[in-house]
Amino acid sequence: MNNFLELCKSRQSCRGFSEQPVEHDKLAQCVEAGRLTHSACNAQPWSFVVIENQDMVSQIALCGQQLKQNAWLKTAKAFIIVLEEHAVLSPVISCFLDSQYYAKGDMGAAAAYICLEATEQGLGSCIIGLYDRKKICELLNIPAEKPVGYVIALGYPREDTVRQKKRKAFEDIVRFV
């Protein structure tokens, strides 16, 4: 991959993974991309849990079965979970805003970096929006009050077709002034 826009076009939500296990080093690279993400006041309001133990992967997959459309999750070979941590904003900013004001956006950016690095590594990824947060916390010994930001399913894609992106038209959402 030698072009960032090409990487953006080939990153797509993968909803079916092959049996091929995911190498530990590739997961570490993905989470490293997350760690390098920008954040407001460089507060880095995140931590990451990488789930590669296959028994635990199966249990986490079950936590995402609230939507029957997410049944494919049982094929996931790994997960990366982005947890929200306390953000320390610069004193000037924190006069105006709650410390966690930017945290959700920052975590979203970290999740995006992780997914893009996964694509670069030849992996498929999909962010999961609906899951049993309480059960995930219990399984991973995460304090119940800690916000679980993003759950990202990973594995080698079962199919390698790159779908056409469905996006709003450039001219409908962009304005140059």
Ligand X SMILES: Cc1cc2nc3c(=O)[nH]c(=O)nc-3n(C[C@H](O)[C@H](O)[C@H](O)COP(=O)(O)O)c2cc1C
Question: Could you list the residues that contact ligand X (CB under 6 A)?
Answer: 12-13, 15, 67, 70, 126-130, 165
Nearer to ligand X, 89 or 117 (CB): 117
Q: What size, in residues, is the chain? A: 177
Strand partners, 150: 82
Cα-based angle 9, 84, 81 (whole degrees, multiple of 5):
55
Nearest approach, Cβ of 154 to ligand X (angstroms)?
13
Please report how close the Cβ of residue 94 comes to ligand X at its closest, in angstroms.
Answer: 27
Nearer to ligand X, 43 or 114 (CB): 114
CB of 56 to ligand X, least distance (A): 19
Give the residue with the Cβ less far from ligand X, 27 or 124: 124
- Cα 120 from Cα 106, distance rounded (Å): 21
What are the structure tokens assigned to 167, written together? 């996006």
Contact, 151 vs 60, CB < 8 A? yes
